[in-house]
């Protein structure tokens, strides 16, 4: 019997490798595939869009905030993967009644690397996990050299409209903004607060506003609207690169370079 601890401190015990996996976290579904575990995935969410063919051949059990627990039961999972931020406490509680449920809790790249290593041990994919970690560290080291000479820019990162919501402190997004030398003007707030858009002008010395492609799908018309209200330059950015942890980080740093250039 092997015991594993998830990232919120819960213990999970297995006497053999869990072979039937349900993932309720899109970025972790992508990670599972990159670890070579595609065949082990029996259920996922409608937001698990990478790789794009996966939803056609696997069972969709709901979204990240609402699930069909009866459908999950019929899949007879050995393990269910959740995330503290993306899934609710109620979902985790329901899942634990069906199968051992691992909850990730990601704020930094180190948290991500810890999770990849744990998945490598848990799913008997140590070699694959080590290779993904090696690639992330290689890209990170290269990016840190690239960013070293860049000037700090003041930014705000929008994730929602009506109400306007931004990413603040204690988020993976804010961690990656800091890594990019983007000084988040809302890092004195916590998580994802609502803000009054017209008050951004009072912040002063703002370089850029970033409008994320997810969870709200900002478009060019939103860029024009927000620029008129705030008198600040706005850009659409790829939300997956700023908020998907896991193997997506291998691609993220090259995207960040493009963004700066």
What are the boundaries of each domain within the chain?
2-105, 149-260
| Residue 205 phi, psi dihedral angles, 5° rounding | 50, 35
At residue 58, does pLDDT exceed 90? yes
Q: Which of 71, 35, 16, 9 is nearest to 24 (CA)?
A: 71
CATH number for region 149-260 = 3.40.50.1980
SS3 of the chain: helix, strand, coil, percent, to 5: 45, 20, 35
- pTM, rounded to two decimals: 0.94
Contact 167, 192 (CB under 8 A): yes
Contact 234, 200 (CB under 8 A): no
Q: What is the DSSP letter of 148?
A: T
Q: What is the CA radius of gyration of the chain?
A: 19
For the chain, the first-to-last Cα distance in angstroms comes to 51
Query: Same topology for domains 2-105 and 149-260, yes or no?
Result: yes
Is the bond leading into 215 cis (omega within 30 degrees of zero)?
A: yes
CATH number for region 2-105 = 3.40.50.1980
Provide the 3-class DSSP secondary structure of residue 139. helix
Mean pLDDT score across all residues of the chain: 95
Q: Cα 83 to the chain's mean position, in Å? A: 9
| Residue 54 phi, psi dihedral angles, 5° rounding | -65, -40
- pLDDT of 132-150, one tens digit each? 999 999 999 999 999 999 9
- pLDDT of 87-96, one tens digit each? 999 999 999 9
* Mean pLDDT confidence for 213-242: 94
At residue 248, does pLDDT exceed 90? yes
* Mean pLDDT confidence for 201-224: 88
- pLDDT of 29-51, one tens digit each? 999 999 999 999 999 999 999 99
């Amino acid at each position: 019997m092997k015991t594993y601890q998830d990232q919120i401190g819960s213990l999970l015990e297995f006497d053999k490798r869990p072979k039937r996996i349900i993932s309720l976290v899109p970025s972790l579904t992508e990670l599972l595939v990159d670890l070579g575990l595609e065949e082990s995935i029996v259920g996922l969410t409608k937001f698990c869009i990478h790789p794009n063919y996966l939803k056609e051949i696997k069972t969709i059990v709901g979204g990240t905030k609402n699930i069909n627990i009866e459908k999950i039961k019929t899949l007879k999972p050995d393990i269910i993967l959740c995330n503290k931020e993306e899934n609710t406490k109620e979902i985790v509680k329901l899942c634990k009644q069906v199968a051992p449920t691992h909850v990730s809790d990601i704020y930094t790249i180190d948290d991500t690397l810890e999770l990849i290593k744990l998945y490598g041990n848990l799913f008997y994919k140590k070699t694959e996990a080590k290779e993904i970690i090696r690639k992330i560290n290689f890209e990170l080291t290269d990016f840190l050299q690239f960013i070293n000479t860049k000037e700090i820019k003041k930014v705000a990162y929008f994730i929602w409209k009506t109400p306007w919501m931004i990413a603040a402190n204690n988020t993976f997004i804010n961690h990656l903004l800091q890594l990019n030398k983007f000084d988040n003007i809302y890092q004195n707030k916590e998580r994802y607060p609502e803000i009054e858009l017209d008050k951004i002008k009072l912040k002063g010395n703002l370089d850029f506003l970033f409008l994320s492609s997810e969870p709200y799908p900002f478009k060019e018309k939103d860029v024009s609207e927000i620029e008129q209200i705030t008198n600040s330059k706005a850009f659409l950015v790829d939300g997956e690169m700023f908020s998907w942890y896991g193997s997506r980080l291998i691609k993220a740093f090259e995207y960040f370079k493009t963004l700066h250039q």
